[in-house]
């Protein structure tokens, strides 16, 4: 029985794109489902655009998503001798040739093809030229067969047939001696014994060229599966005008990796009506025959909904690990986070009302600083002479409260409601504005307990002073 070997091979020319993460996940699910080997290969032959910062960004994104690899990362820049050896083999067997055409000649070919409304491609003239030694610069081209057809039995798309007469004599080696993409991919996949190539369908046009190279080099051809593209809601290719396209941008916006993995897994892959999946379920249920052929549409609102679900269902300990970097970035004193039980209470109240970790951190500011920003409309509506008389009574009762806990705080409010013939909202909202500066927060009894007696009394006294100042004004 064959051992499944797949690879994820990003180019380190920027961040890990949503589409790249989608491809990585599907490769990873397939590998883990089949107890195979997942290889990470960095395709850094583009010396000008590749950089170490991008390599780190890609690896950080994969690790954030929880994708681990069994081999690698391998770097193509360190495997140059393999590629040059393959080119020599093709030259020696007459399956490649040196092309001495100038840029002017290539431009003429393109213009002629456009004028004649044919496919712009190299016309093969250097196949007939003498291949002897010369000081003239050259590239090495593949002597692609121009007769017959190349068939791909794609595991997602089924049979796809290409007419060889439409294929170009692709460049294998640039004039500066650096190898080209189609060559290095074939050599690497063969040398690494990759037997399943799972990638985006934007690579489909490269596949017949690569199959012909496999055959010319005497390599075993892997099975191919081309995943549907991810598009924006306007059916155009996903770009920054639709949404953030960097995986790590979502981490910075306060998304959980579980939400991103769950969401991307459902783009182009179906499993009944189920929406929420654990990683174990995704691996256990994944198969390529459930991947569709049509492009998937990226819906930011659906991702946000999933993130909200995972915020609610993730335990407080894990959420504390996630929210601390956001809180620390705001510059609050570190001692504010030392009481873990207090932090758990804050998180429990906020995660039910927020959709991202960043929103939680922003909403929690009044727990960590006394510099309260009052909403003018909230103050105007709720901080009145009447409400402040009730707040004065609450200050007295809270000051004398023996046990400062939710249950006893609630009793004070209930007694006040009965005595003053008021509804809870008529008491809770003025207090909420006084403590948080706004009209939205977790339960008011929980907020009072978490803030603690000293902070609560100070803030309620301050809001009375604010009302008196406003009246005088």
DSSP state of 400: T
Cα 446 to chain centroid, rounded: 35
List helix spans (H) across 271-329.
279-285, 300-313, 316-329
CA distance 18 to 2: 31
312 is in an annotated binding site: no
Query: Shortest CA distance to 471 belongs to which of 388, 396, 359, 407?
Result: 388
Question: Is 240 considered catalytic here?
Answer: yes
CA distance 308 to 304: 6
According to the 3-state scheme, what is the secondary structure of 126-169? HHCCCCCCCCCCCEEEECCCCCCEEEEEECCCEEEEEEHHHCCC
Query: Shortest CA distance to 75 belongs to which of 91, 89, 54?
Result: 54
The catalytically annotated residue of 3, 56, 149, 240 is 240
Q: Are 258 and 319 in contact (CB under 8 A)?
A: no
What are the φ/ψ torsions at residue 136 (nearest 5 degrees)? -70, 140
CA distance 404 to 425: 21
DSSP state of 273: B
CA distance 360 to 323: 8
Query: Shortest CA distance to 137 belongs to which of 111, 98, 110?
Result: 98
Strand 196-200 versus strand 171-173 pairing type = unpaired
Known binding positions for ATP: 240
Give catalytic residues, as residue numbers.
240
Known binding positions: 240
């Amino acid at each position: 029985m064959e051992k499944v070997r797949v690879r994820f091979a990003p180019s380190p020319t920027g961040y890990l794109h949503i589409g790249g993460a989608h491809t990585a996940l599907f490769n990873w699910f397939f590998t883990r489902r089949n107890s195979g080997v997942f290889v990470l290969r960095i395709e850094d032959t583009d010396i000008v655009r590749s950089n170490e910062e991008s390599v780190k960004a890609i690896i950080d994104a994969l690790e954030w998503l929880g994708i681990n690899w069994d081999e690698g990362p391998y770097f193509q820049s360190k495997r140059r001798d393999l590629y040059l050896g393959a080119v020599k083999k093709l030259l020696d067997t007459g399956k490649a040739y040196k092309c001495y055409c100038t840029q002017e000649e290539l431009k003429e070919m393109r213009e002629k093809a456009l004028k004649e409304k044919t496919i712009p491609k190299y016309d093969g003239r250097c196949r007939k030229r003498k291949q002897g030694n010369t000081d003239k610069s050259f590239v090495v081209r593949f002597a692609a067969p121009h007769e017959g057809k190349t068939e791909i039995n794609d595991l997602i798309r089924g049979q796809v047939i290409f007419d060889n007469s439409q294929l170009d004599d692709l460049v294998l080696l640039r004039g500066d001696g650096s190898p080209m993409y189609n060559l290095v991919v074939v050599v690497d996949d063969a040398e690494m014994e990759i037997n399943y190539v799972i990638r985006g369908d934007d690579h489909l046009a490269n596949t017949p060229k690569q199959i012909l190279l496999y055959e010319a080099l005497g390599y075993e051809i892997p099975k191919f599966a081309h995943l549907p593209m991810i598009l924006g809601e306007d059916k155009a290719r996903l770009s920054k005008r639709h949404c953030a396209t960097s995986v790590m941008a979502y981490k910075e916006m306060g998304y959980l990796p579980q939400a991103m993995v769950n969401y991307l897994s459902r783009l182009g892959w179906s499993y009944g009506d189920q929406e929420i999946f654990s990683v174990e379920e995704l691996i256990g249920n994944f198969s390529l025959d459930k991947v569709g052929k049509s492009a998937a549409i990226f819906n930011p609102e659906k991702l946000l909904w999933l993130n909200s679900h995972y915020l609610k269902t993730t335990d407080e300990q894990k959420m504390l690990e996630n929210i601390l970097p956001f809180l620390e970035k705001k510059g609050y004193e570190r001692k504010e986070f030392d009481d873990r039980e207090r932090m758990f209470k804050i998180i429990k109240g906020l995660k039910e009302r927020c959709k991202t970790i960043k929103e939680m951190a922003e909403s929690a500011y009044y727990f960590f600083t006394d510099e309260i920003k009052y909403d003018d409309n909230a103050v105007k509506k709720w901080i009145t002479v009447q409400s402040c008389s009730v707040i004065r009574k609450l200050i007295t009762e809270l000051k004398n409260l023996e046990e400062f806990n939710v249950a006893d705080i609630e009793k004070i409010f209930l007694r006040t409601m009965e005595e003053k013939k008021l509804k809870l909202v008529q008491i809770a909202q003025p207090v909420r504005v006084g403590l948080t500066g706004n009209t939205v927060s977790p339960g008011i009894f929980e907020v009072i307990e978490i803030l603690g007696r000293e902070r609560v009394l100070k803030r309620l006294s301050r809001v009375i002073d604010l009302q008196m100042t406003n009246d005088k004004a």
